[in-house]
Amino acid sequence: MMNMILAKRPLGPNVVELVVEAPRIAARARAGQFAVVRLHERGERIPLTLADWDPGRGTITLVVQMVGKSTRELGERFGIGDTIRDVVGPLGSPSTIRRYGTVVCVGGGVGIAPIYPIARALRAEGNEVIAVVGARTKGLLLWLDRIAEVSSELHIATDDGSQGVKGVVTTPLQEVLATRKVAHVWAIGPAIMMKFCARTCQEFGVPATVSLNAIMLDGTGMCGACRVEVGGETRFTCVDGPEFPGDLVNWDLLLSRLGTFTYEERYALERYVAAQGGRS
């Protein structure tokens, strides 16, 4: 059966790693792309960046943060042997991988997982990869061993100082940019994190690429829900992105649009929790 979950493990509070049978996606996937998942016939479409894939085994790896109704349902009710109704991909334009020189890959929270294949591809192309990762606390850091394998340096920051330096990812990023000749930076994480990573890179005159997490429905460019403003022009995250130059993104507009369905998302989650007997 296609789209069967072959492996599942927790990575931290409300974060799970799923290995899913998807040979067609695994055969064509490239760094920076994503898939759209629909759990069942009545499910919503969830865009998830591809964290890893294995063409030989015909599998893809998804790292899911359980924050809303559908991601909670996927993480809590779907296990090994269960089948996901739809998994469509690979979608989006892949990362531009070439020989740059020294590059920095920044991952924040669950963004650490999707930055991994980009770092791996850049390393395979002969770049020196410096990794900067961060989270609120030590228990929310993930895939550190994988990131370390594909980077020459690994810098860690946590908000509470429980691992690495105390602060946000821009703290070690600034240090790296101030002391090394960096050709390019990639950043994946919460929108607010990427915004300030882009601003930090601007201060040092280093181009930064960010992977946007805009609201998305069909994932093929037809609905327009994922529109963002880049360089003063409207672009669609699903087909023109998800990666864009960080200095050209209208971050205030993106952050505003991300809150469009806050009430509906909260209502759906409350109904789901109630249906599960009130378990949080």
| Alpha-carbon distance values, 185 to 97, 159, 172, 202, 230 (Å) | 12, 22, 13, 11, 18
Structure token pair of residue 32: 């920076």
Q: Any known ligand binding at 210?
A: no
Structure token pair of residue 212: 């946007």
CA angle, corner 89, sides to 196 and 126, nearest 5? 60
Q: Any known ligand binding at 176?
A: no
| Alpha-carbon distance values, 231 to 87, 246, 247, 250 (Å) | 32, 10, 8, 8
Distance CA 30, CA 35 (A): 11
Q: Any known ligand binding at 169?
A: no
Q: Any known ligand binding at 249?
A: no
Using alpha carbons, select from 177, 243, 186 the residue that is nearest to residue 214.
243
For residue 90, is the peptide bond before it cis, meaning its omega torsion is within 30 degrees of 0? yes
Q: Are strands 233-236 and 227-230 parallel, antiparallel or unpaired?
A: antiparallel
Residue list for the binding site for [2Fe-2S] cluster: 223, 226, 238
Residue list for the binding site: 63-65, 223, 226, 238
Residue list for the binding site for FAD: 63-65
